[in-house]
Structure 1
């Protein structure tokens, strides 16, 4: 009997060692971001970051510019975007910074705006697309409420912000990313809310879609031998976002720390990962709850 218990203990210890090794490899390995930074003649690679006037998108724009990419910023507030453009231009003079203003919460105008975006990017050497835009629509109040209390504009706005714009934009830009058979990268920003949070059912559902779609798209492009890496990043909680200006902590890093850690995951071989090591621990613990 004791021998069986011993074998069982060795089995579980082996699983623990494997999981710990995978965890350490994921969060300590060097990034492969450099694969997507290659010149086309004298033109540097461009990275397009949606929802980049604040929060995680802004942090990613900073880190990409610091890594030597040209940056296209996107948001709906032209004043904020221009301020970000000036700041990035001063901090990273080697990078060219452009701005695209587009409010994507209205489905009636979405296809027209996506066509306009694609036209603006058509002649650029685009190698990185980061689908960061997301969250509740601007007019949705309150955020936390029973599913049945969501009105039509809440539903449409949530789908537009978190699903429709991302998939329509990615579909429109995919031919541009794959046309030269050179490496390109798509990063989709999800959320730990995908576990299914009560009174946030629509938001949780849209973020679960992003993770599932990212995995499916990654496998599809690999099967088609397209040189496009697709990676979904799952954050838990960060500071320096529009609705949270708290001091950073170990569990709640600022957006620059989170963005840097997230870009380090590029090339890790997985499709959906926590961008920051403490968030990975938190998500693992949450998965143990009933």
Structure 2
């Protein structure tokens, strides 16, 4: 008897929670609770299915890009950083879809080569070039503006593609970067596209409907070591795009000028040789997917379904696991680059 009383005293603290758990279990077993659970579950599954179908639709829907190919004298698109990789793919695909293209770059020989190649591929398109070094702070965007005013047609699309780490070595601690290297990254990825957009906006308003496509990066969403300045500029571009889109809506120009930021993940280019199974695509795939997203109502989004899937998978990882993976990957990339540099000396 004494043992029973001792046990009761010791464990009576659990009596109240056990009582309420029994009550809750009894309520859950009732017909009303079962029906409510079934209804809520059906709604949740239905919403998930709807979101998944909407996700699929955004990547298979017909493109509405031709809305911007509307000028009788010829619709023009400006593509910055058009001599290599993704920039070259933007120029190629826009020419294929009926636009004349103004190719921007800093190397006149490369520009002339790309112009000749595209002219041979698309003889019915008009192509022109403009040389301007986006990494400088002496207003190189003015050269693009001057060229636009001389075009034999109207500008309707601006693709702010130029960008990248654009310094050597690519992977280095922020403290190791020289002031001039930091300025190069900031000028190329932030100052130049923002200044150029400001100059060309009045022209795009006059030639509406028109389109502004800014190239972002998934690095804006993660803490990427050894690319601090570059990652920061891409986060800036996302914020700039959102604010500009809201500003155009406030000015009742939202339906006339579309602004979109394409978040780019691992894509083959002159500056990116890293291969990731399934998730690595080439510039052409990225651009075709991105142009299919025109006028889908989103401001910031991935241009290709593989990159969107990659972001979803990465988002399932616990924070510490993801961070540890990124740290290991970036340490490895930095070490490989250092080894290659040492061997080339």
TM-score, length-normalised on structure 1?
A: 0.91
Residues 145 and 244 of structure 1: CA distance in aligned 2, closer, same or farther (over 3 Å)? closer
Partner in structure 2 of residue 195 of structure 1: 221
Alignment partner of 1:22 is 2:54: yes
> Is the 2:130–2:143 Cα contact (8 Å) retained in structure 1?
no
The match for 1:278 among 282, 303, 306 is: 306
- In the TM superposition, what is the alpha-carbon distance from 1:39 to its structure 2 partner? 2.2
- In the TM superposition, what is the alpha-carbon distance from 1:255 to its structure 2 partner? 1.2
The match for 1:95 among 125, 139, 148 is: 125
Larger radius of gyration: 2
> Is the 2:174–2:226 Cα contact (8 Å) retained in structure 1?
yes
> Is the 1:238–1:248 Cα contact (8 Å) retained in structure 2?
no
**Runs of 5+ in structure 2 lacking a partner?**
1-27, 320-345
> Is the 2:165–2:227 Cα contact (8 Å) retained in structure 1?
no
Q: For residues 148 and 34 of structure 1, what CA distance do their matches in structure 2 show?
A: 47
Bigger drift between 212-221 and 161-170 goes to 212-221
- In the TM superposition, what is the alpha-carbon distance from 1:245 to its structure 2 partner? 6.0
> What is the aligned-residue RMSD (CA, Å)?
1.9
Q: For residues 118 and 276 of structure 2, what CA distance do their matches in structure 1 show?
A: 22
> Is the 1:130–1:188 Cα contact (8 Å) retained in structure 2?
yes
- In the TM superposition, what is the alpha-carbon distance from 1:248 to its structure 2 partner? 9.9
Aligned residues: 281
Q: For residues 58 and 247 of structure 2, what CA distance do their matches in structure 1 show?
A: 23
Partner in structure 2 of residue 208 of structure 1: 235
Residues 23 and 224 of structure 1: CA distance in aligned 2, closer, same or farther (over 3 Å)? same
Q: For residues 123 and 144 of structure 1, what CA distance do their matches in structure 2 show?
A: 40
Residues 216 and 39 of structure 1: CA distance in aligned 2, closer, same or farther (over 3 Å)? same
Partner in structure 1 of residue 294 of structure 2: 266
Q: Within 5 Å, give how 1:1-290 maps onto structure 2.
A: 1=28, 3=34, 6=38, 9-40=41-72, 43-107=73-137, 109=138, 111=139, 113-124=140-151, 125-137=154-166, 140-180=167-207, 182-196=208-222, 197-226=224-253, 227-239=256-268, 241-244=269-272, 250-289=278-317, 290=319
Structure scoring higher RCO (CA < 8 A, sep ≥ 6) equals: 1
**Runs of 5+ in structure 1 lacking a partner?**
none
TM-score, length-normalised on structure 2?
A: 0.77
Q: For residues 10 and 204 of structure 1, what CA distance do their matches in structure 2 show?
A: 41
Residues 33 and 18 of structure 1: CA distance in aligned 2, closer, same or farther (over 3 Å)? same
Q: For residues 247 and 147 of structure 1, what CA distance do their matches in structure 2 show?
A: 25
Q: For residues 253 and 76 of structure 1, what CA distance do their matches in structure 2 show?
A: 26
Q: For residues 122 and 46 of structure 1, what CA distance do their matches in structure 2 show?
A: 11
